[in-house]
Amino acid sequence: QRLKAAVHYTVGCLCQDVAGDKELQFSKQTIAAISEITFRQCGTEIRVCLFKNKHAKRSTITVEDVKLLARRSSSLVRLI
């Protein structure tokens, strides 16, 4: 629950930043929906990392594993 609350808080902060830059507002329901989607997607990506690490007989998720996952997302590829 603490992790979910941290994701919700971070999403809220990011939405505030975007809202200030773009002169718009996010409803509480919208922030909650974005938070839930983000939390679920992160859970899916972590399971993919764990599966790949188990297959490779490794027990640590590395920066390279995270970069590989980010490459699957066209919006994140630009940040790598």
Spans of all domains in the chain: 1-79
Q: For 46-69, how does the pLDDT look when each residue is reduced to its tens digit (9 = 90+)?
A: 888 888 888 888 888 888 887 877
Cα(42)–Cα(12) distance, integer angstroms: 17
What average pLDDT is seen over the chain? 85
Is 0.75 surpassed by the pTM of this model?
Answer: no
Name the CATH superfamily housing domain 1-79: Histone, subunit A (1.10.20.10)
* Buried b or exposed e, range 43-69, using 16+ CB within 10 angstroms: eebeeebeeeeeeeeeeeeeeebeeeb
From residue 23, alpha-carbon distances to 10, 17, 20, 32 in Å are: 19, 10, 5, 20
Q: Quick one: pLDDT at residue 52?
A: 82
- In the chain the first and final C-alpha atoms are separated, in Å, by 30
